[in-house]
Amino acid sequence: MHILQVPLTIMETLSKAPGNPVLWHLFLTELAGAIQCDSGLLSIVDLGRDGGVHHLHCCNVAPKQLRCFERNVYKAGSFHANVAKHPYQVFCSNTLGGTLRSGGGVVSEFCRFGVSIPLNRRYAYCMNLNGSRPSAEPELQACRHRLQALVPLLQNALWKEQWLSLYSQITLLTGKHVAAYLIVDRSLNVLFSDPVFNRIIADMDCVEIRDERLAFLNKATEQRVLALMAGVDCDTVMTQNQHASYAITVIPARALDNLYAWEFYKKGAVLTFTRCQENNPTLVRLIALYKLTKFEALCALQFIAKPSISDIATDSNRSTETVRNHIKSIMQKLDVHNQGALMKKLLAIAAL
């Protein structure tokens, strides 16, 4: 049997849809028409015990269909439950497992297709396409294969949608470029991350992601970040904690718009990681003009904020002897002979 490919216009629309609700609606409309369906729905589903559904985009979906979807998504063995809990696999069915009545009171049978794409451990995107026309099994399978070929493109578009929304708002709030960001809950479980940012974070010398949880190599830094996150429910927009070569900024997730008003974000926090070299002119001057090494320059910045060798050692996850040697080297390169003179010169450099 010859299986037609997804029309190029649909793929083009999908590639341009992120950040554009009109194009998402057009994509669902075009896709539904291409596989002989009448309506399409894209939602986020909470797979946890508490449940919940948030509808993102739809075309030609009646309120009764929305209620049917919400009612059956958690019913064990239902079509919607199978779709939500078996990611990346396109399901098709000729029956709805429930009844929807038209205006004349006639029960209509729907053929429908569904696929889910995980957002994280608990949440998934679900796309459902429904049609009122009966379809033979070969035709259903042909449409299923066409949809299956579209799944990777849909996944990329959904991630890009999130990325665009988040990154633009983070840049606006922080007023600077960030090297990486992710969203975590109050236990530092990762709710949202980007594969590119994950690689950047993996290259850092202060944090890593283990089993979908953010782990700080320095427990003192982790406790400070957790303390900052405790302020998510107050009016504080952001606060900053610097560790090693990155500045870590904590932003309440509720301060961001266009996150689909979804609860798993509202209770979390955005952590951004900014390279100090890109955003701290004092660091650049120390390295360029005084030939300090990267670690010496970072140590100098920490000395300005907290002139205590033991505190710097704790913050940077290094021994006091290593920090003491860094301070001695910094003093030699800056041509000063005591810590008081060092502080005075560092403040003068920072004020340039």
What is the pTM assigned to this prediction?
0.61
| pLDDT at position 130 | 85
**Tell me, what amino acid is at 206?**
C
C-alpha–C-alpha distance, residues 334 and 328, integer Å = 10
| pLDDT at position 266 | 66
The pLDDT-based confidence of 251 (bands split at 50, 70, 90) is: confident
The residue ranking higher by pLDDT, 204 or 107, is 204
- Write out the chain in H/E/C secondary structure: CCCCCCCHHHHHHHHHCCCCHHHHHHHHHHHHHHCCCCEEEEEEEECCCCCCEEEEEEECCCHHHHHHHHHHCCCCCCHHHHHHHCCCCCEEECCCCCCEECCCCCEECCEEEEEEEECCCCEEEEEEEEECCCCCHHHHHHHHHHHHHHHHHHHHHHHHHHHHHHHHHHHHHHCCCCCEEEEECCCCEEEECCHHHHHHHHCCCCEEEECCEEEECCHHHHHHHHHHHHHHHCCCCCEEEEECCEEEEEEEHHHCCCCCCCHHHHCCEEEEEEEHHHHCHHHHHHHHHHCCCHHHHHHHHHHHHCCCHHHHHHHHCCCHHHHHHHHHHHHHHCCCCCHHHHHHHHHHHHCC
| pLDDT at position 134 | 66
C-alpha–C-alpha distance, residues 347 and 299, integer Å = 14
Residue 30 · residue 10 · CB < 8 Å: yes
The answer to whether residue 82 scores a pLDDT higher than 50 is yes
The residue ranking higher by pLDDT, 114 or 306, is 114
Percent of the chain beyond pLDDT 90? 16
Q: How far apart are the first and last CA of the chain?
A: 73
Beta bridge partner(s), residue 131:
111
The answer to whether residue 178 scores a pLDDT higher than 90 is no
Q: Is the dihedral of CA 122, 128, 134, 140 positive or negative?
A: negative
The pLDDT-based confidence of 50 (bands split at 50, 70, 90) is: low
Domains of the chain in sequence order = 8-160 (3.30.450.80), 176-279 (3.30.450), 281-350 (1.10.10)
The residue ranking higher by pLDDT, 181 or 239, is 181
68-77, 149-158, 304-313: least confident range: 68-77
| pLDDT at position 1 | 36
| pLDDT at position 7 | 62
How many CB atoms within 10 Å of residue 288?
A: 10
The pLDDT-based confidence of 317 (bands split at 50, 70, 90) is: low
| pLDDT at position 95 | 46
The pLDDT-based confidence of 325 (bands split at 50, 70, 90) is: very high
C-alpha–C-alpha distance, residues 41 and 127, integer Å = 6
C-alpha–C-alpha distance, residues 24 and 40, integer Å = 10
Residue 338: CA count within 13 A, CB half-sphere: 2
Percent of the chain beyond pLDDT 70? 78
The answer to whether residue 100 scores a pLDDT higher than 50 is no
2-16, 95-109, 125-139: least confident range: 95-109
For residues 113-136, give the mean pLDDT: 82
Look at the block and give the residue holding tokens 């427990």.
219
* Chain mean pLDDT for the chain: 77
The answer to whether residue 84 scores a pLDDT higher than 90 is no
pLDDT digits (tens, 9 = 90+) for 189-243: 888 877 778 888 877 777 888 888 888 877 777 888 888 887 644 333 333 444 4
Alpha carbon distances (Å) from 35 to 131, 148, 291: 9, 12, 65
Taking alpha carbons only, the member of 36, 15, 44, 19 closest to residue 27 is 15
Alpha carbon distances (Å) from 283 to 16, 106, 276: 40, 73, 7
| pLDDT at position 14 | 93
The listed range with the strongest mean pLDDT (20-29, 159-168, 255-264) is: 20-29
The answer to whether residue 326 scores a pLDDT higher than 80 is yes
For residues 58-63, give the mean pLDDT: 85
